[in-house]
Amino acid sequence: MLETPVICSRCLYDTTISGIRFDENGVCNFCAIHDEMEKLYPLNEQRKAQLDGLIDKIKRGGQGKPYDCIVGVSGGRDSTYTLYTAVKRGLRPLAVHFDNGWNSEIAVSNIKNAIKKYNIDLVTVVADWEEFKDLQLSFLKASVSDAEIPTDVAIHAVLHDVAAREGIKYILSGHSFRTEGIVPKDWTYMDGRYLNSVHKRFGHTRITTFPNVTLSSLFYYSLIRGIRVIPILNYFSYDKKKAGKELETEVGWVDYGGHHHESVYTKFFQSYLLPLKFGIDKRKLALSARVRSGQTSRDEALEEIRKEPYPYEMSTVEYTISKLGLTQTEFDAIMNAPIKTFRDYPTYYPLMRAFRWPLTLGFRLGLVPRILYYKYIA
């Protein structure tokens, strides 16, 4: 008989998440990470002054250059709001978009509207479809929940590549721990070695153009080129609902429904693959984050989670199967294959564990992003 999962007394994370631990009050370790992040980014006057200082620093760094920062744009709410914030604060961003071939029409028009309104230059990097498809298929066949890794890795690489090429020191990220939550590593894990090892085992196409993230590229961009990623939404009280309304009025932004459904593949991934194959309901992340940051009550969130998860449409699933060139039998085999995790493949993870102490030092010096530190090292 299956045991009923134990739920954290403060958020919605439960014992279906591997690595979860509870303190004597029944509060989970992910809530503790949230509190650490809250200490680093407190919403007070001092933090406001720090943000002002940071904006000045970014402006000074870009003096005499056409741009002072980079914002990655997907057409989604968080990235559009990051772009909007940059403009509002008098920064001169260069927008960068990675087109993996799965953009929804709404996403494309959202990007166009925002850059047109503020007269922002846009660099679009288009994936080589045959290579990208082969990587996506490899991750589906690897039977891991990290099926969005090719996109996430490529975005990271493309933003840094463009920053280095244009001599831009700052990348503004649209990630906010107050609304996105802390993703358990058994739900999403990514690194460049993982990508290569999964592709080597399941792929068929030779990869020559895909922008991967390797350890040497991480060191190069961070230590040699001094490029910094600024999670600017962490510096103020970012509320997704309010932000969406503001963007609708300001830049004619259109809501596309579910969370991160700006891409058809993401829609398939979150509404079908994750819940049906892996039993992962990603709403838990965002809802828990909102509870921890006081944007909603735990009772309201619990009620929300009991409702049907992201509703999926068969048309999305059929479109995905056909675009990836799979037969129904091949797709069924993917859905029914035994579940694996990143621990079943070669990754940088053992190396990161072995180099815990120097990485901790790197974190203290501000070279290792905080959220990565808490997720992989601490």
Under the binding rule (CB under 5 A), the answer on residue 12 touching Zn ion is no
| CA–CA separation, 334 and 332 (whole Å) | 5
| CA–CA separation, 141 and 339 (whole Å) | 10
| CA–CA separation, 318 and 114 (whole Å) | 31
**Least distance in Å: CB of 12 to Zn ion?**
8
**Least distance in Å: CB of 34 to Zn ion?**
8
| CA–CA separation, 164 and 23 (whole Å) | 44
Among 7, 20, 31, 280, indicate the residue that binds Zn ion (CB under 5 A): 31
Q: Which is nearer to Zn ion, 10 or 370 (CB)?
A: 10
Among 7, 8, 94, 247, indicate the residue that binds Zn ion (CB under 5 A): 8
Under the binding rule (CB under 5 A), the answer on residue 37 touching Zn ion is no
Candidates 1-9, 200-208, 318-326, 336-344; binding stretch for Zn ion (CB under 5 A): 1-9
Q: Which is nearer to Zn ion, 26 or 350 (CB)?
A: 26
Reference 171, options 210, 117, 251, 225; nearest CA is 225
**Least distance in Å: CB of 184 to Zn ion?**
11
| CA–CA separation, 233 and 173 (whole Å) | 8
Q: Which is nearer to Zn ion, 57 or 375 (CB)?
A: 375
Q: Tokens in use for 288?
A: 């828990």
Under the binding rule (CB under 5 A), the answer on residue 11 touching Zn ion is yes
Residue whose C-beta lies closest to Zn ion: 8
Q: Which is nearer to Zn ion, 28 or 171 (CB)?
A: 28
Contact 59, 68 (CB under 8 A): yes
| CA–CA separation, 58 and 240 (whole Å) | 25
Candidates 12-20, 110-118, 131-139, 225-233; binding stretch for Zn ion (CB under 5 A): 12-20
**Least distance in Å: CB of 200 to Zn ion?**
37
Number of residues interacting with Zn ion: please give it, by CB under 5 A: 6
The type of residue at 100 is: N
Candidates 5-13, 51-59, 172-180, 243-251; binding stretch for Zn ion (CB under 5 A): 5-13
Reference 72, options 110, 119, 122, 106; nearest CA is 122
The CA-atom distances, in angstroms, between 78 and each of 159, 167, 168, 234, 375 are: 16, 25, 21, 12, 21
Which residues, 6 or more positions from 296, have their beta carbon under 8 angstroms from its beta carbon? Answer: 287, 290
Candidates 31-39, 91-99, 110-118, 294-302; binding stretch for Zn ion (CB under 5 A): 31-39
Under the binding rule (CB under 5 A), the answer on residue 28 touching Zn ion is yes
- DSSP state letter for 233: G
The helix or strand, by DSSP H or E, that contains position 229, with its residue range, turns out to be strand 228-230
| CA–CA separation, 72 and 221 (whole Å) | 16
Q: Which is nearer to Zn ion, 10 or 240 (CB)?
A: 10
**Least distance in Å: CB of 183 to Zn ion?**
14
**Least distance in Å: CB of 294 to Zn ion?**
14
Q: Which is nearer to Zn ion, 8 or 86 (CB)?
A: 8
Angle of CA points 162, 193, 78, to nearest 5°? 45
Candidates 26-34, 129-137, 318-326, 363-371; binding stretch for Zn ion (CB under 5 A): 26-34
**Least distance in Å: CB of 9 to Zn ion?**
8
**Least distance in Å: CB of 32 to Zn ion?**
8
**Least distance in Å: CB of 316 to Zn ion?**
31
Under the binding rule (CB under 5 A), the answer on residue 91 touching Zn ion is no
Instruction: Annotate 66-129 with DSSP letters as a single string.
Output: S-SEEEE--SSHHHHHHHHHHHHTT--EEEEEEE-S-B-HHHHHHHHHHHHHHT--EEEEE--H
* Interaction site with Zn ion (CB under 5 A): 8, 10-11, 13, 28, 31
